[in-house]
Amino acid sequence: MPRYLGLDLHRRYIHGCEWVPEAQQERHFRFPNTSDGWSQFVATLDSNCWVAMEVTGNAFQVHDRLSPHAGKVLLANPVELKRLGSGRHTDRVDAARLAKMLALGTLPTVWVPPQEVRDVRILLRYRERLKATRARFLNQIRAALRRHGYDLPRRANPKLHLTAQQLQALPGAEMALILSACRQADALAEEITAIDGEIARRLQGVPEVRLLLTLTGLGPIAAAAVWAYIGDPRRFKNAKQVARYAGLDASVHQSGDTSYHGRISKNGNGLLRTYLVEAALTLARFDNGALGEFWRRKEQEIGRKRATVALARKMLIVAWKIMLTGQPYRAAKAKTTRNKCWQLKSMSRQETQWSKVAAQILAVDAAVHYQEGKRSELRTERTQVPA
């Protein structure tokens, strides 16, 4: 009979529970979240062990470590577990619930992406954090200019509208703030370009990305997000599941004879949804195929904003079908597709600072080791000198 184990992951320790269905008993244990602690736990596993844990920051790495030693390692969806929980939230309750649901076969699991997909997801999330930080610095510049009567247009780059005369007319502290924010924004822009190059290099040998670039509105970064977050298209049974994964499904409230369908639920992947809405804005302007006609028809019926969200949902479904069937977008423009493929290739060849930084670190590390070696030799020589 399989052994059912539930693990509740924490920063300093792991709380586990083994559920024995025959005796209806729980056996709780705890071990430190260190390499030695995991080695001792792995030694207790065999092919009859089934392990379950919630998705956290390092859950995928734990999955890779335990998979060769256990029969099954499953990752649970924390959002679904919260809906199914009783309201209590303790280590013992969480670990026991995982083990019991694993034994009953009712555990809401998630797909474990391969390493190359995880790498692109990590870079995309980091890219968004860099963009948000750069936006904060640009907002600091706008606020400083607004305090002195310079009101810039919405979403305008303040560096392009700021003149030398305006800068010199500001007080010294405000001028120092603006110059500092400009330097930070420029540095972050370079880092975003470097991250774009890293993402593009990881997509060079991926045929699904080439197919996604045939879809109007999807650039290299947006295509990378769609490919990374959809992952294996066969894991979705229908288009409704794909839309629900991105939070582009309609919220529903039903009770008796009352049935209300409201705005999109936004319960899915927010980053994927953001890229799709941005791509929909571009597609609405330039596409002459079925998707463009769909947006123009919906714009007349429900307005521009709602039509854009509906188009984003439709684009996600079309992208899923492209990855599933291996067929390009029917209304693809050959010249635009070639330009996007060239852009992806150009981004991958961009010279970044990563190699220079790595070389500097290695040079410093080599110098430190050299100095330590010289000091060790000198100490050895001094100890060998006769009195």
68/142 Cα distance (integer angstroms): 54
Q: Say which range, 85-89, 123-127, 253-257, has the weakest mean pLDDT.
A: 85-89
Q: Say which range, 46-50, 167-171, 213-217, 356-360, has the weakest mean pLDDT.
A: 356-360
Inter-residue contact 64 to 55 (CB < 8 Å)? no
Q: Say which range, 251-265, 298-312, 350-364, has the weakest mean pLDDT.
A: 350-364
| Per-residue three-class SS string for 23-57 | CCEEEEEEEECCHHHHHHHHCCCCCCEEEEEECCC
Q: 47: which 2 tokens?
A: 């092919």
Helix or strand or coil: residue 157?
coil
The residues, any chain, with a CB within 8 Å of residue 128's CB and separated by 6 or more, are 271
Residue 338: inside a domain: no
Residue 35: inside a domain: yes
Beta strands in 68-176 (DSSP E): 72-76
Residue 348: inside a domain: no
Digit-coded pLDDT (tens) for 11-48: 999 999 999 998 889 999 999 999 999 999 999 999 99
Question: Residue 213: pLDDT above 70?
Answer: yes
Count how many Cα atoms sit within 13 Å of the Cα of residue 130 in the half-sphere of its side chain.
19
DSSP state of 289: S
90/87 Cα distance (integer angstroms): 10
The arithmetic mean of pLDDT across residues 215-222, rounded, is 93
- Alpha carbon distances (Å) from 61 to 9, 65, 293: 12, 6, 45
- Alpha carbon distances (Å) from 140 to 135, 149, 179, 351: 9, 15, 11, 30
> For the chain, how long is the longest CA-to-CA vector?
102
CATH number at residue 93: 3.30.420.40
- How many residues make up the chain in this entry? 387
162/142 Cα distance (integer angstroms): 10
Residue 344: inside a domain: no
Inter-residue contact 14 to 52 (CB < 8 Å)? no
Question: Residue 345: pLDDT above 50?
Answer: yes
Q: Say which range, 58-67, 222-231, 352-361, has the weakest mean pLDDT.
A: 352-361
The residues, any chain, with a CB within 8 Å of residue 380's CB and separated by 6 or more, are none
Given 183, 202, 221, which residue is the final one in a domain? 202
Residue 166's pLDDT is what? 78
Residue 235: inside a domain: yes
Q: Which domain holds residue 297?
A: 207-251+258-328
Same domain membership, residue 189 and residue 89:
no
Digit-coded pLDDT (tens) for 280-296: 999 998 988 899 999 99
The residues, any chain, with a CB within 8 Å of residue 322's CB and separated by 6 or more, are 208, 211, 212, 214, 215, 328, 329
338/344 Cα distance (integer angstroms): 10
Residue 360's pLDDT is what? 58
The arithmetic mean of pLDDT across residues 142-155, rounded, is 82
Same domain membership, residue 239 and residue 172:
no
Residue 172's pLDDT is what? 83
The residue type of 60 is: F
Calculate the average pLDDT of the chain. 87
Residue 48: inside a domain: yes
Same domain membership, residue 231 and residue 197:
no
Inter-residue contact 137 to 181 (CB < 8 Å)? yes
CB atoms within 10 A of CB 336: 15
Residue 353: inside a domain: no
Q: 243: which 2 tokens?
A: 């839309």
Given 78, 104, 130, which residue is the final one in a domain? 104
The arithmetic mean of pLDDT across residues 254-272, rounded, is 81
The whole-model pTM stands at 0.84
Same domain membership, residue 302 and residue 216:
yes
Same domain membership, residue 73 and residue 17:
yes
Question: Residue 66: pLDDT above 70?
Answer: yes
Residue 337: inside a domain: no
| Per-residue three-class SS string for 243-258 | HHHCCCCEEEEEECCE
**Most confidently modeled range among 141-150, 262-271, 316-325:** 316-325
317/307 Cα distance (integer angstroms): 15
Question: Residue 343: pLDDT above 60?
Answer: yes
Number of structural domains (the chain) is 3
Residue 145's pLDDT is what? 85
Residue 148's pLDDT is what? 82
Same domain membership, residue 323 and residue 211:
yes
Residue 387's pLDDT is what? 46
Same domain membership, residue 187 and residue 133:
yes
Percent of the chain with pLDDT over 70: 89
**Helix ranges, 213-303 (H):** 220-230, 239-245, 270-286, 290-302
